[in-house]
Structure formats: C-alpha cells, structure tokens
C-alpha cells in the first residue's frame, strides 16, 4: 500500500531553506511573483498518494493556478485538468496533453460550445435547461456528460461569497429542480454528477456534505459512472485530515460504485509561491504607521480584498511584535490595504517584504487598475536557480484595451 504522505509542516516559507528574502530575491525587480517548483512537486506527491491509495482521480482546477510553464511539474501526479470555460479547456489540452480535460461552466454559449467540444472530455452542465440545450451535441461528440447538483447543505463559515449552497444560489441543481425538470431522456444523457460546496475546508465538511448528498440524491448515484467531489479540499494544508478524506472517497465508491474525481485548485499550488515587494514610502496618520508598497492588494493579490484575508508575511506577525505598520498599495483606492502587521524593528524605505502563499488566485486574477504594471513572474527551480518566465511592460496594459 502507498505510504501516507502528509503535507509539509513548514509552509508558507519552507522554500527559502533558512535564507532571507533579501539574500534569495534581492536582485529581482519588484513587485514580482516567485513560483516554488519544489513546493509544487511536494503538493503533487501528496495528491498522488491520495489517488494511489483510493483509486480516485485528481484534477488541477486551473481557475486557481494556470501558470502552464509549471504544468510539467504537476502532470505526473494528476489525472488532468478542470476548466471553467473554453480558454482553460484549451490551455489544459495544449499544456497537459494526454490527460483528461473536464469543464464546468455556469452557462455555455452557442457561439463557444462547438469549439469547446474539441478540447473537453467531460462536460458538466449547471442546470437541466443547459443539459437539454447542449447535452445531445456533447453526446454525439462522444463526451462524458455530467450535471452539477446542489445538496443545499452549507458548511461555510465567514465566506458567504464562496457558498454555492446559500439560499438562492445559481450553482447546481437542487433535488426539487431535478424532480421537476429532469425527464427520463435527460437522465439518460448523464454519465455522472458533480458537486462543489467547499472552500479551503477540511474533510469534516466533506463528510457532512456526503451525508446530505446521500439523503437527497442517493437513489440516483448508482445509475452513474462517476461522481465529482469538486474543489475546495485543502488537502496539502498542514493538519488536513487525509485519512478522513480517503474514508469519504471509499464510502462513495463502495456505496454507489462510482469513479470518484476531485478537482482541487489551491491544494495543487498551496504555499508554492511568493510576492516580493519593496517599501516606497512611510507615513503616519494619527496613531497608525503606514507603509506604501510597490505591490497592490487590489491589483496583484485581489483575493485579499475579495475573500477577504490577510496573507502571511515573512518575519512579521499580525500582532505581538513591537512595531506595527499598516501595509497598503500605491493605487487611488482607499481600501487598497493588505493588512496590519507587527515587526521586530521599524520598516525602512526600500525594505524587501515577502508575502507567502501567492501562487494561487494571483497571477490568474491580477489586473492593471490605475495602470499598475503587472508583476514579473519568476520560478525558483529545485536546484536553487531563478528563471524569469514572463515580464510585463506598457504594451501588456495598452493591448488589453485596444489596437
């Protein structure tokens, strides 16, 4: 049996191997992202262990991490990619060739769907109406067809924006909708069912969700070939309950005789990247010391504001140290604030600050609001060498807006 591989207990700065950010990254232009090849491989090994011990298949959800230059690092450990639409499906097909390509979208368009059929192996629909509109074409093209279901079982705490089971949710088919709209002809189109209810959660939330699914859809599952558990499983986070996850997978397999898929995004690239930034200015407002950085929460780490959350920062704590600073970006948005941190010594102009866990939902979500330049993207190879994957200039900003 495959040996249980537990997540790394040293993130989010394990890849520095005891060196300071200035020593490792001081020569790089800021702001910049640094992707950690060794951390990506470590995550891949953990995920591959789950797959080997249970027989499930694990996909990379590209919405969280789509830096395709690093796909060769993850590909040996994964069954394929999950896409949210045409472009991600094409990216997965081009950059992880020979692997499975799954796609789920809240609604497909007639303009894009024929091209999507060229890339996707599994196509999941959000509603009976979409299944009726596009399912026959997908079936004729030889695709495996699924429907997203909604167990109406919320396990979210504090992140309502990421709760697909909230009342009035637009995501997934409830049992009432199924009973009303799923005709025998539509059911016959299906190969599998898909649910996605978690966000950065442990296996206890999955356990609760599976019981709710069994109560609402248990009579349907035995008619299916596969069941996709969606994403939000924080499998590579320190302390995550991998044995409980594996029990959930085996329960579904043994009870309903389905192939189980998981499609984590964060777990693939968790704690596998950094954002380096320097202090541009220091000012005082009432009792608050403020440092303005060349990195922006609004532009370069948008989930900090959207979720919201406060990212880890090397050498700093949220409270407890002597010198407290509010860190903000240079844009005109008053709320462009990364957070309040405490330091053992006062910050100075040009100090290098290194934020952790910046491989996920950063490079794929950043923007050029205020004309802010996009940060360059580097990779820290396993041999310790740094390589620039992409740098961005004025044309990257201008070309998005016109010819």
pLDDT tens digits, 22-47: 999 999 999 999 999 999 999 999 99
Is CATH 3.40.190.10 the right assignment for the domain spanning 37-269?
no
Nearest Cα residue to 64 out of 240, 235, 316: 235
Mean residue pLDDT across the chain: 95
Per residue, the 3-state secondary structure of 296-327, as one string, reads CHHHHCCHHHHCCCCCCECCCECCCCCEEEEE
Q: What are phi and psi of 68, to 5 degrees?
A: -65, -20
pLDDT > 70: percent of the chain = 97
> How far, in Å, CA of 63 to CA of 303, rounded?
13
Q: What is the pLDDT of residue 6?
A: 55
The answer on pLDDT for 267 being more than 90 is yes
pLDDT at site 7: 54
Within the chain, all domains assigned CATH 2.40.37.10 are found at 273-398
* Beta bridge pairs of residue 343: 323
Q: How confident is the model at residue 398 (pLDDT cuts 50, 70, 90)?
A: very high
pLDDT confidence bin for 319, thresholds 50/70/90? confident
pLDDT score of 3 more than 70 = no
Residue-level pLDDT at 1: 40
pLDDT of residue 91: 98
3.40.640.10, 3.40.50.2300, 2.40.37.10, 3.70.10.10: which CATH number matches 273-398?
Answer: 2.40.37.10
pLDDT mean over 228-243? 96
pLDDT at residue 2 above 80? no
Residue 339 scores a pLDDT above 80: yes
- Residue 360, pLDDT above cutoff 90: yes
Residue-level pLDDT at 104: 98
Residue 190 reports pLDDT greater than 80: yes
For range 141-169, the mean pLDDT: 91
Please, are residues 29 and 374 in contact by the beta-carbon 8 Å criterion?
A: no
Mean pLDDT, residues 284-296 taken together: 97
Query: Which residues of the chain does CATH 3.20.20.10 include?
Result: 37-269
Q: How far apart are the first and last CA of the chain?
A: 57
Model pLDDT, residue 331: 98
Per residue in 65-77, pLDDT (tens digit) is 999 999 999 999 9
Asked whether residue 5 carries a pLDDT value surpassing 80, the answer given is no
pLDDT digits (tens, 9 = 90+) for 42-54: 999 999 999 999 9
Closest CA to 230 of 168, 175, 128, 151: 151
Per residue, what are the HEC states of 54-106? HCCEEEEECCCCCCHHHHHHHHHHCCEEEECCHHHHHHHHHHCCCCEEEEECC
Give the whole-angstrom CA distance, residue 343 versus residue 382.
30
pTM of the model: 0.95
pLDDT by residue (tens digit) across 75-120?
999 999 999 999 999 999 999 999 999 999 999 999 999 999 999 9
Q: Which pLDDT score is estimated for 188? A: 98
In this predicted structure, what is the pLDDT of residue 118? Answer: 98
Give me the pLDDT at residue 181, please: 98
């Amino acid at each position: 049996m495959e040996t249980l591989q537990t997540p790394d207990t040293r993130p989010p700065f394990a890849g520095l191997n005891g060196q300071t950010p200035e020593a490792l990254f001081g020569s790089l232009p800021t702001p910049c992202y640094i992707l950690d090849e060794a951390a990506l491989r470590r995550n891949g090994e953990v995920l591959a262990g789950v797959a080997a011990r249970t027989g499930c298949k694990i996909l990379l959800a590209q919405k969280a991490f789509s830096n395709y230059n690093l796909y060769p690092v993850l590909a040996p450990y994964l069954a394929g990619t999950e896409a949210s639409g045409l472009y991600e499906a094409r990216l997965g097909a081009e950059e992880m060739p020979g692997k499975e390509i799954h796609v789920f979208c809240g609604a497909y368009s007639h303009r894009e769907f024929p091209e999507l059929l060229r890339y996707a192996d599994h196509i999941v629909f959000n509603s009976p109406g979409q299944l009726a509109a596009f399912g026959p074409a997908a079936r004729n093209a030889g695709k495996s067809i699924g429907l997203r279901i909604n167990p109406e079982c919320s396990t979210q705490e504090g992140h309502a924006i990421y709760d697909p089971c909230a009342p009035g949710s637009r995501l997934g088919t409830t049992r009432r909708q199924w009973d009303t709209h799923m005709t025998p002809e539509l059911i016959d189109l299906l190969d599998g069912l898909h649910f996605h209810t978690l966000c950065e959660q442990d296996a206890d939330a999955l356990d609760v969700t599976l019981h709710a699914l069994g109560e609402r859809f248990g009579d349907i599952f035995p008619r299916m070939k596969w069941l996709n558990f969606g994403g939000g499983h924080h499998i590579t986070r320190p302390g995550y309950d991998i044995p409980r996850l594996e029990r959930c997978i085996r329960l579904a397999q043994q009870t309903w005789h389905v192939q189980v898929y998981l499609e984590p995004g964060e777990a693939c690239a968790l704690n596998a990247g950094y954002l380096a930034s320097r202090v541009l200015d220091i000012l005082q407002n009432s009792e608050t010391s403020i440092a303005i950085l060349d990195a922006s929460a609004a532009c370069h780490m948008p989930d900090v504001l959207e979720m919201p959350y406060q990212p880890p920062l090397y050498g700093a704590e949220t409270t407890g140290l002597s010198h407290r600073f509010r860190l903000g970006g240079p844009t005109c948005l008053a709320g462009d604030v990364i957070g309040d941190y405490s330091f053992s010594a006062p910050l100075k102009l040009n100090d290098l600050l290194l934020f952790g866990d910046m491989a996920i939902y950063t490079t794929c979500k950043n923007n050029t609001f205020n004309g802010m330049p996009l940060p360059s993207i580097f990779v820290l190879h396993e041999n310790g060498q740094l390589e620039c994957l992409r740098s961005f200039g004025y044309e990257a900003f201008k070309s998005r807006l016109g010819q």
